[in-house]
Amino acid sequence: MDFDFYLSTMWSVLKALPLTLEIWFSGVAIGLVIATGLTWLRASGYKLGEYFTRGYVFVFRGSPLLVQLYLIYFGLSQFDFVRHSPILWPILRDPMYCTIVAMALNTAAYSSEIFRGSLRAVPVGQIEAAKAFGMSAFTRFRLVTLPIALRLALPAYSTEIILMTKATALASVVTIMEMMGTAQKIQHDTFRPIEVLTCAGVIYLLLNLSIARLFAWVEYLLSPHLRPAPEQSQQVKPVPEVL
């Protein structure tokens, strides 16, 4: 085995990691904001809001991210008003921004479904108790519904976020030299696809492992009430108010 080649490939692909992380983080962060808006719209009880979010989820969950990316990058630039818009054009002519937009729109559809499900799974007795003690709708949401729903959403949401790290590889099809793009270039230059793809695969694996561990840790921190009971003798520190 050619260790030097492995090492140099590893190093080249790793140098593209920051770009991969940037796409991933931006996509997930913007997606989270959109998902929050969609969830709110869906839960608000307005019929129009419900139809809009249903339609949104249908479109963005029902079609491949690759198709969405192509349509955003190549498709939208066909429209004159996009090319003449001082806001849209700087974003949509840039493949990096297009990837982020596509990822954000796509993950928002999945995430809003996850959030909707976890909101509905909050036990009704917990909310009734908050009502019965005179909490306003906002206080109820902040102190009871949201913290419980967040914990319920975490396992599914962490899976969605891991899917998004893998989705960043699609950026390579619109010329972005993130990890996958870099790997493909090395592969073209050296004709050694097995070694190169193995290196890229290992880095993605380690990246997702860290993200999964991070989420597991957050889940652990947020769920002391779901862990086994502490020993009677052992003193438990009160958890500071987080929200």
132 binds another protein (CB under 8 A): yes
Q: Does 224 bind another protein (CB under 8 A)?
A: yes
Per DSSP, 68 falls in state H
128 is a contact residue toward another protein (CB under 8 A): yes
Site string for another protein, 181-220 (x = CB under 8 A): ----------------------------------------
Q: How far apart are CA 120 and CA 129, in angstroms?
A: 16
- Closest CB 159 distance from another protein, rounded Å: 22
Displacement of CA 10 from its chain's centroid (Å): 26
Query: What radius of gyration, in Å, describes the C-alpha atoms of the chain?
Result: 22
Angle, nearest 10°, between helix axes 47-62 and 17-43? 150
Q: Which of 15, 61, 83, 131 binds another protein (CB under 8 A)?
A: 131
211 contacts 161 by C-beta, under 8 angstroms: yes
- Buried b or exposed e, range 95-107, using 16+ CB within 10 angstroms: bbbbbbbbbbbbb
Binding mask 134-173 for another protein (x = CB under 8 A): xxxx-x---xx--xx--x----------------------
Q: At what angle do helices 95-120 and 146-167 cross, to 10 degrees?
A: 150
Neighbours of 139 (CB within 10 A): 12
Rounded least distance, CB 143 to another protein, Å: 6
Of 46 and 133, CB closest to another protein: 133
* Of 56-64, 93-101, 129-137, 165-173: span binding another protein (CB under 8 A): 129-137
Q: Is 46 near another protein (CB under 8 A)?
A: no
Contact of 34 with 100, CB cutoff 8 Å: no
Q: How many residues bind another protein (CB under 8 A)?
A: 33
> 10 is written with which tokens?
């590893």
Tokens of 142: 């902040």
Closer to another protein by Cβ: residue 78 or 234: 234
Q: Is 44 in the site for another protein (CB under 8 A)?
A: no
In the complex, the residues that contact another protein under the rule CB under 8 A are 123, 125-126, 128-137, 139, 143-144, 147-148, 151, 222-226, 229-230, 232, 235-239, 241
